[in-house]
Structures are given as C-alpha cells and as structure tokens.
Structure 1
Amino acid sequence: MSNVAFSWIRRVAMPALVITITLLLPSSPVSAGQTDSYTLPQQSYNQSRARDYKVYVPDNLQSPAPMVMALHSCKQTNNDVLNDWGMKAAADQYGFILVAPYITSYDGFRNQNCWGFWFEHHRHQGAGEVEDLHQIALAVESNYAVDPQRRYITGLSSGGAMAVVAAVAHNEYWAAAAPASGIPYGEDASSVSLTGQCPGSATFHSVSQVVSDMEAELDGAYPIPLMVLQNKNDCTVIKTSADHIRDAHLKAFGDPAFDTPTEAKAESVACSPYYQNNYGCIRTRYTQDGTSGARSLVETVYLDGPLATPNSQDTDHGHYWVGGEQASNGKWAVRVGPSYPDVIWSFFSGHSRDGTAPEGFPVITLIGDSPMAVALNTSFTDPGATADDTEDGSVTVMADCSSVDVSTVGSYSCLYTATDSDTNVTTVERQVEVTDPNVPTETCEQVTASPSAHVSSGRAYAGGSYNLRVYANGDDVDIGGTFDSWSNVPLYEGDPGRWFTSEPVACNGNGGGNGGNDPFICQDWNASNLSHSMAGRAYYAGGYYSTGGDDYLGAIPGGYVWVKESPDGVFEKGQCQ
C-alpha cells in the first residue's frame, strides 16, 4: 500500500453501518494541534549531550498513533522544520505525532547546526548523536501513546544523513526511514560538495565498503524500508549520494538474485501530489523479488528541480526540502514541487514493521491535480483515481463529478469512493476550480522601497556573484545591490506574490513596451549603471550608455542615474515628466 493517499478524510467503520465524513482543508497552512517543548538531559554514554526537541500533537489523534521524527539540516533548527516543511499540516491530515529534535550543541569542525553523520562516535548504537535521537524517541513514547509498529524518521541533508545512520544503527527500532538529500552510511565529510560550484563534486566510498560498514553495525535482520529523495540538480549533495544509498541498501538487505537496481526494480510512476510543478519527478519502487505487489525495500524520488529558491539565505545550489502547498519558502525549504510530506507519508503508511495496515481502509490515490484548474466553457475530463487495500489489493473506485459546471465560474468537487471486502469505505474529494482565463489575476499593487527592503519583504531575492545583487522575483530584473538600503525602487505586483519592475499590462500600464492600444505610460528607473546594464536599459562601451538612445550615463558601475523609456522602446537619460 505504497501509493499516496492525497485526501482529506475522516473515516469511521461500524459493523452494520459505514459512515464517511469528508473535510476540505483550507489552502493556507493551518495547524490544529499543540506543540510541546522538551530537553533530553545529557546521558551517561559517550558523546551524549543535552538535546532540545519539540513534539507536535494534532487534535483528535487516534491512540496509539504513528510517530515521525524529522531532522533539520545544517544552518537550520527544529523551528524551520515545524514552520516551513509542511509537516505539521501532514500530521494534522494523516494523524501522526511529529517530533523535531534540535542538535542544540555539537563537537568538532562543522558548519552551523550540522548533525555529525561523518564522525565515528556519532553513528553507532549506544553513543553520540544517533543514540541521543533514539533516547528522544523513547522519551516521546513515555509521554504519548505511540504505535511501536509505526515509528518513522526523516530529515534533510545532514539530517537526512543522520536518518540513514539511525536506520542502520537502530534498525531494531525504526519501522522505515526517508532521507532527503542524504548521505550513505559510514561516509566521510568529503561526500558533500563544498566547492560552491555547480555542478558539485564529491568523493564517495565504494558501495561494497558502505555495505560492509552497514553489516558491521546492523544488529537485526529487519530489512528496514528506505525512501531516498533527491533533486538531480543538487550541487551540495549530488545524485551519486542517493544512488549509493539505494544500491548499498539493496545489497545489504536484498535477495542475491535481486540486489541491483535493474533486478529489484518493480515499477516507476510520476510523483504525486505536487504543488504547481512536478519537475519531472519519478518515484521508483525496488522490492526484494522485483515484483510490483511486494513490500518496498527501497523507493527513490528523483526530481529535476531548479537551483534557485525564493529565500535570500539559501545558496541557490538546488539543495532544499520541498514542502508543498501547505509549507513555506524558508531557509533551504520551498513550496513548489512534489510534496515531500505527502509522498513520504504515503511511503511510511504502507510500511509498518509488521506489515499490517493500522486502519484497514483502502487508500485512494488521485490521478492529476487537486485542486484542478479548468477554464470556463471548456470540456472537463476527470483524470480518475486508483485505490489499494492491504488485504484486497487493487480496489474499484467510484467517481462522482456531476456537480462540476464548466459554464459557471466557481469551486466544485469530484467525490471518489472505494469499498474493500470488509465494507470499510474511504472517500476522497478533489477540488475543481472553474476560472475565467480572461479575467486579470494581477493585484496591481505598487511598492516603492530600497533593494534590501524588497528582499526582506519577499518581493525580490539576492543573487549574482556572492549574492550581492537583488532581482525582482517576477521578471528577474536586477534592481540594485543587497547592501542598498537607501534607494527607492518601485515594484509592481502581478499575480499574488510576483513582483515586476514594469507595471503589468492588465494594470493599465504597458509593461514597459508599446505593443497594445493602451496609451503609453512613461516609466523611469533610478538605479546603478551596472543595474541598468544588466536589465538591458544600458550597455558598456568604455563607459555606460543608454540602450537605443546612446546617452552617456557615466563610467562608474555603482554610479546612480535616472533612465526613462520612450514610447518606441528606446531608453534615454532622464526622468519622466
């Protein structure tokens, strides 16, 4: 039962009656639970330290509940996990206890807040950070009712690497693990690309050495399922790392006849759900006998994601957590892409330690988007859904989209129902939004502020060499330096959250050109010569000159000057009158 249940559901089964209540969640992140803060005191074993951690518990949680531990990456804290990753919304939706440890303090030479996966004393059972994480999990179990068959761990970057360490060092405890941009067990720090260049470069142990290190540490025969999530364009943790995690896991736990990716591959599907862009994400299952009906030993989630992120603190190396619609664009965390919380939970929910499904209900997977956008007065074709049941396998899904009216703008829904042989019923609702494509979506708001203030407010982002330049997030035009807190640069909002240096056409402007019938509205910019040059308003020829008008602007890149645009698209020195 490895498919994602992309739904908002509450389910109640009774001997002679089945009741299903479908709830639609709001589009913005809303938490309906409680967050408690704790500290694990320093323990008596070697290299233990006091560790802070937070536990998020949704309202109306079933008991006992699954537990998911999520580990932050370098330069993050557990607050970033709770605020930006979309995991609290997933806990609300799917009903699990979310545990977010904070490294708190650490030894050795490392970047800020990195988990020490490459230190020998932190990756073996009974000592160091990996044992502190185990003790945190046990402490959570002493305070909350946790299902011992459904303990899971995930993390990003060094947190992903430590999730791999935990899956090996304590495979007798965890049910499954899901490292994102993680590192194979036993690797050195050189397995991370620290050159600052793209593509990245790193050195790795051989797969056989990783397998040998794993076998020396494992103290149980349980073949712990592993989901490996990786942006193929990541320049900090490169794809080779994910491939080695997969290959070593297959060698360590797979049947000798099915211990390579080619032999163990069962199936590949597009990742679902996703927010706005799937980035060509493919989810591949590998099983112990290569058959699609078997339990996963390894699953890979590989996406062709972008390098840049909206957050100015990021390195723009394609290295981040993808949180989906319910997440935030934080430090090394983005919303757009395959929704990690949903994809990971779909994997966890199908891989308890004993192989049983806790609720025994069918799991419905929607094909296509939800919400789904449909243009007014066009045809609507339901992409459908599939359902799997632990006992019955594939289950028939009944769909009802009769409420969808493509002739009227509005919000509609399709209702999907699946019933298993025990009369357990699951219902899932897809939102269908009928919109008029001719109605402008631009807000037309204008804000004038300094480049640095635009960055702080999310209207622009830092980029260029050493992140010293500022670019509007809508048209990627350079508007000045990140150090500039005194200039006044106007930006115009088009679609919500997208800001441009020129007023959008729909806002009665002309977008900086004269390609329509609207009267020309003059636009001018007060920016550095370098900014004018990078935005196409000027060029360099022994000095800076306006594009088309050939007015001399000056020789110093950082010198500020007014440039205006004429009706025929020529840039001239001066201001609009």
Structure 2
Amino acid sequence: MTSFTTPFLRRIAVLACLLLSATVAWSGTTKAYTFQAKSYPGSRERQYKVYVPDGLSGAAPLVMALHGCQQTHDDVLRDWGLVQAADRHGFILVTPFITSYDGFRNTNCWGFWFDQHRHQGGGEPEDLVRIAKEVETRFGVDPRRRYITGLSSGGAMTVVAAVAHNEYWAAAATTAGLPYGEDAASVSFSCPGSASFHTVAKVAADMKAELNDAYPIPLLVAQNERDCTVVAQAGRNIRDAWLKAFGDAAHDTATEARATERACVPFFGEDYGCRQVIYTSDAQTASRSVVETVFFRGPLDTPDTSDTDHGHYWVGGEQGRDGRWAVRRGPSYPDIVWDFFSRHPRTGPAGGDPGQPTPQPEPACTMVEASAGSHLAAARAVPGGFWGMRALSSGDRRDIGFAWDFFFAVTLYQGAGGLWFSQPPAGCTP
C-alpha cells in the first residue's frame, strides 16, 4: 500500500506545483480597451489590451508591443513570452491591435511605408502614443521608463514611433524591422530574400527631419541573418542610420562606435551563434548605448504550419510559445529586450505629459501634379469606391479618378501628417 500511495502522492504534489506555477506565470490582470479615433488625420478606432502584473507598487515601466502582419494583439499575449516577463520584471504590457487600416496591405500590417503613417501628429504613430497616454491615465507609469517594441511591420512601426515621438519613448527595440522611411520594396516575398533599400544617408536625413527632440533614443535591433522576408541588410541599415542620426561626428559609424561584443543570453535550446554588439556614443563600454544589435542564424522552418517558413519570427524563449511567426527556441527576446530597456531609462526631462495633446505639425504645403494611378502608387491617394477601382486623396478622401488612370493629371496638396488633399489645406495658399 505504501509503495503505491507514496509515488502517487508525489505525482499529485508535482502536478499541483506545476498548476500553481502556471497560475503564478499569469498572476496579473488583462483588460481590453477601445481607443476612440481622434480628429487628426489618419486616426482610427483601435482595440488594445493591457496586462498588469499583481503586486505592482508605485509607478511602473510601460512596454508597448506591436504585432506583425497576419497577427493580432492576442498572438503577442499568448506566444511572445512577454506576459511572463512582465510578471518577472514588473512592467505594464500594452498590446495594441491595428484593428482597421487604409491602403493596399497584407492583413493587419502596420503602415510604416505610407507617408501618412510615419510622422508626428497623425496616423498610426500618433494613435500609438495616445494609447500609451490613455494607459497612463489608468495606471501608474514611470515617465522615464516608457518603451516600445514590435515584430516585422510592428518592428518597422516601432522604428517610426521612436523617431516620430522620441520626446515620449525612453528606448525602443525592433525585431525583423525596417529603417525609417522605407517603402514596400524593402520587403522580400521569397527565399533567398531580395530587397532594395534607401541609402543610409537618406534614412538618417529623413530621421533628422522628423525628430522633434534632442533626446538620442537608444535602439535595440534584433535580426535573424537568414530571414527571407526582412533581410539582414535591413537591420544593418537601421544600425548605421541610427549612428548617423544620433552619434557624434567621431563615432557615427559601426567601426567607430563599437564598444563591445558578447554572446546573447539567455537563450532557449540553442543560441544559433547569436552575438550582441553594443555601440555607444564614444565607443566606451561604460557609456550609454546609441544602438545595440542582436544577430543570429536561426532556422527558416517553424513549428506552426500556417507560417511562411522564411526565418521570420519573434523568439519567445522558454516561456514563449510556438505560434504564428513565433518560436520558443533561440535567443530569448523577452529577456534580452527587457535587459536593454532596463539599462536605458530616459535621461533629461521626461516628455509627453499624458494630460497634454501632442503638438500638431504645420502643413507641408507641397503641391504634386500627377495621374490618379501615380498618386495611388506613391501613397498620396488610397483605393476607394467599388472594388477599389477609384483613387481617393489620402487626406480629404476626394475622388480623383480611376485607380488605373496614368494619363490625366490631378493636383494634390500635402497637409499636416503627410496626408494629401484635393484642395490646399488650411494654412496653405493655392
């Protein structure tokens, strides 16, 4: 009798411990909210969820995580291991869902390549910072520890957000993301990957033109060298542009700013040769990072059968889950990203008072005369009408002609937030 009951009771005890540990891993509270569209151009109603660990006291860090294409905020919560990281490290996790969008896109992509969605004062980056400010009105958030990360199009939008609102975010981490201002040609659709990019000089110049604060926001760039969707050159270009935009003249290249290199820790299962390189303002290890890179050679195939098997995914580590464009094995992004964030609270004045709206930019007042089809191709117009056969100006949504018309010229005027109008917007003269 004893020989049977003792192992049996031990198994019951082990099972109880496992159940208890699973409960502890999700010991916080997840709440769903709806962000109401605002009056600035490109704003839309968006759903988002907030995970708050139990036992938080005082102002906590905020981490916003942006899903990739064909994902939702629920994928982030379920698969990325960030909920468990929030429990371990005590940060508030915010997961927005794009919910709806304009223009030609893959399902649920953030619109990093549309001009109307990469500037302060309008579109998706403005909605994201407003969502974060809404969270601040509900929970205690440390204004010096507001962070943003994302995968794929979410990684590219992370870069946009960091540039457009460097007055608000303390640091950012992009995974399989793209340089600021890139267009759709920067994404590959087959293996081996092939893409074209803007020059680093242009990216850096575009960044400097957009920045509204002197704060040199630190950035972590995570990239699978074998990724066929976002090829590794994208990560190197982000690094180099960041150094050009935020490094000093004597340390604005990867060679000049390189401070140290180390193995990526922790990892789950295998590190795939991962190396983390730190680039600082003066190439000294004790100095604050300008940019850090995490590069590894991970597999192309993933366990999820709905995935594209292009080596394009978030690595959730031991407490992550094999899901859509998410794997467990490899350098643990939740831990590596959080380590980076924890080392980079905001320095200087903390901007972005949650009670104050972001100042609206002045209209650009640029005028472009082109065909409806050309305006559509350049994202100055969006598809509309029956089956998307008409072209609508992106700002005031006026019908400017057939989407396939490349013969008859129409004049559009650029307003605030990178949007285009059929008539000169307020503040501009014809």
Q: TM-score range by the shorter chain?
A: 0.7 to 0.9
Alignment partner of 1:37: what SS? strand
Aligned residue for 1:351? 344
CA contact (8 A) 1:54 1:100 kept: yes
Q: Does 1:189 pair with 2:184?
A: yes
Partner of 1:47: 42
Distance 1:229 1:27, change over 3 A: farther
Query: How is 1:219-230 mapped onto 2 (pairs within 5 angstroms)?
Result: 219-230=212-223
After TM superposition, the structure 1 = structure 2 runs for residues 335-374 of structure 1, keeping only pairs within 5 Å, are 335-354=328-347
- Which secondary structure does the structure 1 equivalent of 2:345 belong to? coil
Distance 1:289 1:179, change over 3 A: same
Q: Provide runs of 4+ in structure 1 moved above 3 Å.
A: 25-29
Paired AA for residue 333 in structure 1: A
State the distance in 1 between where 2:117 and 2:293 align: 26
Deviation at 1:354, TM superposition (A): 2.0
Structure-1 residue corresponding to 2:101: 106
Greater share of strand: 1
C-alpha separation between the residues in 1 aligned to 2:24 and 2:203?
40
Instruction: Indicate the SS of the match to 1:258.
Output: coil
Q: Per-residue displacement from partner, 1:350-386 (whole Å, max 9, x unpaired)?
A: 1000289xxxxxxxxxxxxxxxxxxxxxxxxxxxxxx
Q: RMSD across aligned C-alpha pairs, in angstroms?
A: 1.4
The residue that corresponds to 2:275 in the other structure is 282
CA contact (8 A) 1:27 1:325 kept: no
Q: Which aligned pairs between 1:328-407 and structure 2 lie closer than 5 A? A: 328-354=321-347
Matched residue type, 1:140 = V
Name 1:216's counterpart in structure 2.
209
2:319 is aligned with 1:326: yes
Q: Secondary structure at the match of 2:163?
A: helix
Which position in structure 2 is the counterpart of 1:9?
none
2:243 is the alignment partner of 1:250: yes
- The one-letter amino acid of 2:28's match is G
Q: Which residue of 1 aligns with 2:387?
A: none
Give the secondary structure class of the aligned counterpart of 2:34: strand
Question: 1:77, CA displacement in angstroms?
Answer: 0.1
Q: Decide whether aligned partners of structure 1 residues 247 and 278 sit closer, same or farther in structure 2, where only a CA change above 3 A counts.
A: same
Question: Where does structure 1 lack aligned partners over 5 or more consecutive residues?
Answer: 1-24, 357-577
Change (3 A) 1:211 1:181: same
Native 8 Å contact 1:265 1:290 kept in 2: yes
Distance 2:138 2:218 in 1: 27
- Aligned pairs, number: 330
Distance 1:355 1:82 in 2: 32
Partners of 1:199 and 1:29 in 2: how far apart? Answer: 42
How far did 1:29 drift? 8.5
CA distance in 1, matches of 2:85, 2:224: 21
Letter of the 1:289 partner, please give it.
D
Select which of 220, 229, 233 maps to 2:226. 233
Deviation of 1:199 after TM superposition, in Å, equals: 1.5
Is the 1:283–1:302 Cα contact (8 Å) retained in structure 2? yes
Contact 1:322–1:336 (CA<8 Å) still a contact in 2?
yes
CA distance in 2, matches of 1:354, 1:222: 8
Structure 2 residue 110 is matched with structure 1 residue 115:
yes
For 1:74, what is the secondary structure of its paired residue? coil
> 8 Å contact 1:70–1:153 — kept in the other structure?
yes
Aligned to 1:257, what secondary structure does the other structure show?
coil
CA shift, 1:228, in A, is: 0.1
Measured after TM superposition, the shift of residue 117 of structure 1 is: 0.2
More helix by share: 2
Is 1:295 the equivalent of 2:288? Answer: yes
Give the corresponding residue for 1:476. none
TM-score (norm 1): 0.56
Cα deviation per residue 1:133-190 (whole Å; 9 max; x = unaligned)?
A: 0100000000000000000000000000000000000000000000000000000011
CA distance in 2, matches of 1:49, 1:225: 29
Where 2:129 maps in the other structure, the secondary structure is: helix
The Cα of 1:27 is off from its aligned counterpart by 8.0
Q: Which amino acid aligns with 1:64?
A: A
Paired residue secondary structure (2:25): coil
**Residue 26 of structure 1, CA deviation:** 4.3
Q: Could you say if the C-alpha distance between residues 199 and 130 of structure 1 is closer, same or farther in structure 2, counting changes exceeding 3 Å?
A: same
Cα distance between partner residues in 2 of 1:47 and 1:173? 20
Q: Distance in 2 between matches of 1:152 and 1:46?
A: 25
Amino acid at match of 1:233: R
In structure 1, the residue matched to 2:120 is: 125
CA shift, 1:328, in A, is 0.6
Matched, 1:306 2:299: yes
Q: Highest Rg: 1 or 2?
A: 1
- Are 2:162 and 1:167 equivalent residues in the alignment? yes
Q: For residue 144 of structure 1, what is the aligned residue in structure 2? A: 139
State the identity as a percent.
63
Residue 129 of structure 2 corresponds to residue 134 of structure 1: yes
What does the per-residue CA deviation read over 1:523-554, in whole Å, with 9 as the maximum and x for residues that have no partner? Answer: xxxxxxxxxxxxxxxxxxxxxxxxxxxxxxxx
- DSSP-derived class of the 1:330 partner: coil
| Structure 2 counterparts to residues 536-551 of structure 1, below 5 A | none
| 3-state secondary structure, aligned to 2:301 | coil
Does 1 or 2 have the higher relative contact order (CA < 8 Å, sep 6+)?
2
